Amino acid sequence: MTFTVWRRHNRDVCDSTSRYDPRCGCPLHVQFVWKGAPGVFEGKKLTYQNKWSLETRNWSEAQSKVKELEKRLKDFAEGKVVSKGTTVEAALEEWYEFRDQNELDNTKAKLMGGKLVEWCEKNNILLLTALTTDRVIKWRLTLPFRSGDSSSLSVHWSVISGFFSWAAGMGYIEKSPIPNPKTNPQFRIRFEKAEVKPPTKKQVEKILATATGQVRLLCQLMRETAMALVDAIKYAMSQEDAENYGLSKPERRPVIQCKVIRGNRTKTNERYRVRISESLAKQLEALGEPAFPGTYTQWRERVNKVIKDAGVKTTPHGFRHYKITEWLAAGMRVDDVADMVGTSSNEIRKTYRHWIKEAEDRLDEVQREAWLKMGLDENGNETVVHWTHGK
């Protein structure tokens, strides 16, 4: 086999015209012809013409890597090395099945798994063992999720981190290639969530007035319950009604019983329980099963179009923010709101602290009592004492 080392120049920073320039700092690659049967070698597809990255910019280091690669390929051709391992795609499919058996939602898991498989195909990576730390970090850089003022990237990254931890536990890889942010803080995804700004009552009413049909019912459901879109579209009728219609038992989906919806949030698997109006319950029941057929992406696009047509600047999640703040502003206890929407009381206080009327009222009462103990009146004014002097 003949191996050729060459550079892939970055035209933005390098003006060299030679692919074999030994001094410029562009990445080095190796090209060679494989005359054996196509296969997989160390997690990479092995075809007739091969162009692989040497993952170095140093010429002498590249030459050493090529010599080692040549020896390993020779052993592989002679049958001295047997390439074993699980493909990325096969491992992901097994992980999805594992999550299904444990009643875990696979929406984000399949989204991230699909993006990983797509990236691996573009980079000629087949086996799970070929996903080293540097490769998964390079893949992370291509993900379209926001950070900075959003937890989106952090949330999705934690999902795929769960996959690699599972794979390590199964023995498919020695350890997760994702570095621990506690011991490697440089890899921590940093973000500071922006203050929640819910739409106003007028804006919500404008969206509902613009929406029609099933989209309007979906928006009304989110407006009354503070359910996230991904949970609202999973709405199902009661078991009794389902049996009357000859339908199977709705598994792990929101169920309505006597105008009460119970379920588990997709994002956190936390339980929630919330009432809806009688009129909305009847309209939803009239839709049959399922009430909102289609994918999350399709419904998100439909709701976003209505929001845009209404001329309101918000997202489908704005309905959740609006309803939670409406409840809090009305003086509902934080713990009760948390139980109704399926999140922790601490998260409610942290995210919606500016709208918690209960807390404001309590602090006002604490300060009023403190004033009284200090000899002031309940408005904080000094108490005027009138003395009567005898003649």
pLDDT above 70 coverage of the chain, percent: 87
Between residues 43 and 289, which one has the greater pLDDT?
Answer: 289
Co-location of 47 and 132 in the same domain = no
From 187, 217, 241, the end of a domain falls on 187
Co-location of 324 and 226 in the same domain = yes
Least confident of 49-53, 234-238, 304-308, 371-375: 234-238
What pLDDT score was predicted for residue 389? 56
Co-location of 168 and 260 in the same domain = no
Of the pLDDT bands very low, low, confident and very high (cuts 50, 70, 90), residue 150 is confident
Is the pLDDT at 317 greater than 60? The verdict is yes
Co-location of 221 and 102 in the same domain = no
Number of domains in the chain: 3
Instruction: Give phi and psi for 365, each to the nearest 5.
Output: -70, -40
Q: What is the mean pLDDT of residues 141-146?
A: 87
Between CA 263 and CA 233 the distance in angstroms is 12
Three-state DSSP state, 86: coil
From 187, 217, 250, the end of a domain falls on 187
Q: Is the pTM of this model over 0.75?
A: no
Is the pLDDT at 169 greater than 70? The verdict is yes
| Structure-block tokens of residue 390 | 């005898």
Is the pLDDT at 298 greater than 70? The verdict is yes
Co-location of 237 and 267 in the same domain = yes
Between CA 125 and CA 312 the distance in angstroms is 44
Co-location of 236 and 344 in the same domain = yes
Task: Tell me whether residue 383 is in a domain.
Answer: no
Between residues 116 and 242, which one has the greater pLDDT?
Answer: 116
Co-location of 343 and 275 in the same domain = yes
The domain in which residue 331 lies consists of 201-355
Task: Tell me whether residue 272 is in a domain.
Answer: yes
How would you label 279-304 residue by residue, b for 16+ Cβ within 10 Å and e otherwise?
Answer: ebbebbeeeebebbeeeeeebbebbe
Residue 56 region by backbone torsions, left for phi larger than 0, else alpha for psi between -120 and 50, else beta: beta
From 23, 49, 77, the end of a domain falls on 77
Q: What is the mean pLDDT of residues 326-335?
A: 87
Co-location of 113 and 220 in the same domain = no
Co-location of 290 and 334 in the same domain = yes
Is the pLDDT at 245 greater than 90? The verdict is no
What pLDDT score was predicted for residue 244? 42
Co-location of 286 and 330 in the same domain = yes
Q: What is the mean pLDDT of residues 34-47?
A: 79
Task: Tell me whether residue 61 is in a domain.
Answer: yes
What CATH number should be reported for the domain holding residue 179? 1.10.150.130
Furthest CA-CA distance within the chain: 125
Co-location of 94 and 54 in the same domain = no
Q: What is the mean pLDDT of residues 37-65?
A: 85
Co-location of 72 and 115 in the same domain = no
Least confident of 8-22, 98-112, 207-221: 8-22
Q: Can you state the percent helix, strand and coil of the chain, rounding each to 5?
A: 50, 10, 40
